[in-house]
Copies of this chain bind each other. A is one copy, B any other.
Amino acid sequence: MRKQLTIGLFGFGCVGTGLYQVLNQSNLLDAKIKRIIVKNKAKKRIIAAEHFGYEASEILNDSEINVVVELINDSDEALIIVREALAKGKHVVSANKKLIAEHLDELIDLAKQNKVSFLYEASVAGSIPILRNLEEYYNNDTLSSVQGIVNGTTNYILTQSNYGVSYADALQKAQELGFAEANPTLDVDGFDSKFKLVLLIKHAFGLSILPENVFNYGIRQIKNQDVKYASEKDYRIKLFARAEKIGDKIIGFVAPHFIKKEHVAYQVDNEFNAVIVEASFSDRQLFLGKGAGSFPTASAVLSDISALQFDYQYEYRKSDKESNTEFTEDFYLKIYLASSDVDALKTIPFAQIDEIFQSKGYNYQTGYVKFSDLSKNNFNDLEKLFFAVLPEPFLNENEIVNSKQIKEDLINEIV
């Protein structure tokens, strides 16, 4: 039953090295790494130079190699490798969320045509087996939402800021610890979380959506006052990737959220990731684990390789159906919008204002805004503004009108 796996590995960075150690340290799998392709000939590595090659063709043209594990940073290069590997009938395991999110449907088709598996559990939430669970366990369409903390770097920075560390210092610390890249934009502006969200949406709801059509807002504009506001209200700020079914439509975005003390994600700190799945009947489920790091990610890659022994592949059952699941930005959410400049708050029209606070140098208002009014803006670059989502349900047009009416009635009564 078990298949003999001969692996060609692209990339020998943090995760690749981890994988090599994991496979070598443990006699777990009937799988050997035959060749490793790297870029830099000069770099010192933990194993002898003879294991390395420098041309992709050394793997791609080796017919004995039946599994390609792609762990390089450059997603354009990775795309070429993955395409060719699939086309040549090799199974592919990848952790490259950007590549996969941007080309998922093409790569799924390619894998199908060539009757091979394309697995990428490590690309979402590191060691947490969330894709596998969405595929296999939650395959009966009762899912109502999938959301969570899927980026360890930003969660580490946000955790530090709860301890009073400034954003700049926390980022630097994260970089020193190897949690953050030299250029942290993908992480701190919420792109990395968005790529992962795109994959979650595909596996949870069967909907293909391109990353460019999903709003992402990160944590770069958080000011000390915002952290203080959160802590006064017993909230913690977490960067949430969030997908939800509203009626028969799907919404999805990445943004900072105020999380209540009672919420299961409140305590998820540092480099930990957490994914919360809500289904109509099973209530809330939380999956918690390390989202980053050499071994946690390598372990997810390892589980994919191990599954290949049994010819495992994603079935995308939710995508099979003749559903006209659509993506929508047509809903209302309650936010906290803050700025040093009170006029800047007018950038976003509020459908309903609940609170206004003004002072010298710090102003905010809370209330419901239409999501499409928010998502028009490139918040990552609006230095004067910061917003975070408040822990209130999303509303649709009717509910907003009703809620306004109730408020006005109340005011009239009080008057």
A interface residues, Cβ below 8 angstroms from B: 18, 22, 25-26, 28-29, 127-129, 132-133, 136-142, 264, 267, 279-290, 293, 295-296, 298-300, 302-303, 306-307, 310, 312, 315
Contact A28 B307 (CB under 8 A): no
Offer 10 A-B interface pairs, CB within 8 angstroms, sorted by A: A26-B141, A26-B142, A28-B140, A132-B133, A132-B137, A136-B312, A142-B299, A282-B299, A282-B300, A283-B289
Q: Tell me whether A127 and B295 are in contact in the complex, defined as CB-CB below 8 angstroms, given that A136-B132, A137-B132, A288-B264 are known contacts.
A: no
Q: Tell me whether A281 and B267 are in contact in the complex, defined as CB-CB below 8 angstroms, given that A136-B136, A137-B132, A307-B136 are known contacts.
A: no
Whole-angstrom distance from the CB of A308 to the nearest CB of chain B? Answer: 11
Chain B's closest residue to A121 (CB) is B137
Whole-angstrom distance from the CB of A409 to the nearest CB of chain B? Answer: 34
Whole-angstrom distance from the CB of A318 to the nearest CB of chain B? Answer: 11
Query: A298 is contacted by which of B133, B281, B286 (Cβ under 8 Å)?
Result: B281
Q: Tell me whether A140 and B29 are in contact in the complex, defined as CB-CB below 8 angstroms, given that A133-B129, A267-B267, A288-B264 are known contacts.
A: yes
Contact B284 A289 (CB under 8 A): yes
Chain B's closest residue to A28 (CB) is B140
Contact B281 A18 (CB under 8 A): yes
Chain B's closest residue to A298 (CB) is B281
User: Chain B contacts of A296 at CB under 8 A?
Assistant: 281-283
Chain B's closest residue to A280 (CB) is B26
Contact A288 B288 (CB under 8 A): yes
User: Chain B contacts of A132 at CB under 8 A?
Assistant: 133, 136-137
